[in-house]
A and B are shown apart, each in its own frame.
Chain A
């Protein structure tokens, strides 16, 4: 057996040295290479997993928000169209009322103006009649003088005034 080991070059001292060498290598690589890198790989994997989970949750949240937004928008569209219709109806009613009121006001103003004009006209005519009456009286008194008595003068003035009034009316 010893010869066999000798012929194959097996030496227990070299064997032990190689085992020690390999043990040191395993120790150093584990401490300085495998452990930090495996830790980093696992940390990165965990964070990627967490991020993926967060992304899924965020996608769900976005979908929910989108659904709620659509719901709110649909509701808002319905409400706004209802409001627009209502406003249109109210505006049409208001416009009609304004038109009616304006027409009534215009008629009222026109009537008032007519009344005012008529009353001014009457006042002017009365003033003119009075003035003309006074002129006629003076003209009668000056033209007939003392020819006629007071009674006749009064009658003549009265007749002249009646004619003046009739003329003024026409």
Chain B
């Protein structure tokens, strides 16, 4: 049976930076998107090619969905780049995680305890808490930056720190705790789902190889899509809620 670990394995170091297998997978996913973006940008035309048509369809679906959350197209377009990148990156990372080779191609190394262990070269990006935490921090910090820019420092901070009354003061404290818990909930939800999926696939694959894993692979595809959508929606809600003057 494969080695199951919460912590991602370090493959090598670039200076002081340990490069883990999840990080390598994230770089590959990013590189894929960057190459795709360069290819598209060189061929953008009024009459779209098949590839441009596909990209436009994806963008139109995402922006249409964001419009239903934000209420208007202008707000949807404002937050579209960050939310769409979150959705697409999480989706691609989740789906890449169940491809053959991810988790199975690797090398045998000798650990600190002297035992030889198998280290996979690639691992599903969001089965590493560092990755989900980074994304959650980006969302929460950016939501406050957008809030500060849109409604102003005084109004935005007034939602958290207020001395207008004891009830409002404690509400502000609860809001601060809520923001901290938002980071934890966002990161652990995605991590929990993806990591559980990984573990489930490893266990099923070990118990009944080949056929039995197929339904679970389908389930993981679905979970990957749902988790990407949830993260994107929650990010959009966080951004748009702080940019409304009447938000609490």
Contacts and interface: CB of A to CB of B under 8 A. Distances in A.
Asked whether A and B interact, the reply is yes
Nearest to A20: B134
Chain A: interface residue count, which band?
20 to 34
B81 interface: yes
Nearest to B13: A13
A26 B131 contact: no
26 contacts: A9-B129, A10-B129, A13-B18, A14-B20, A14-B128, A15-B130, A15-B133, A15-B137, A18-B23, A18-B26, A19-B138, A21-B23, A21-B30, A23-B138, A32-B38, A32-B41, A33-B33, A33-B37, A33-B55, A34-B59, A34-B80, A36-B44, A37-B56, A38-B59, A40-B48, A43-B46
Given A40-B45, A43-B46, 8 more contacts: A8-B129, A9-B7, A9-B130, A14-B18, A14-B134, A22-B135, A32-B40, A33-B40
A79 B37 CA distance: 70
A21 B23 CA distance: 9
Interface residues of B, number: 45
B85 A38 contact: no
Contact of A17 (B17, B37, B46, B133): B17
A12 to B, nearest CB: 9
A9 B128 contact: yes
Contacts of B36: 33
Contacts of A17: 17, 23
Interface of A: 7-11, 13-15, 17-19, 21-26, 28-30, 32-34, 36-38, 40-41, 43-44
Contacts of B16: 13
Contact of B18 (A10, A11, A21, A40): A11
Contacts of B41: 32-33, 36
B82 interface: yes
B130 A10 contact: yes
A22 B138 contact: yes
A8 B18 contact: no
B222 interface: no
B169 interface: no
A22 B134 contact: yes
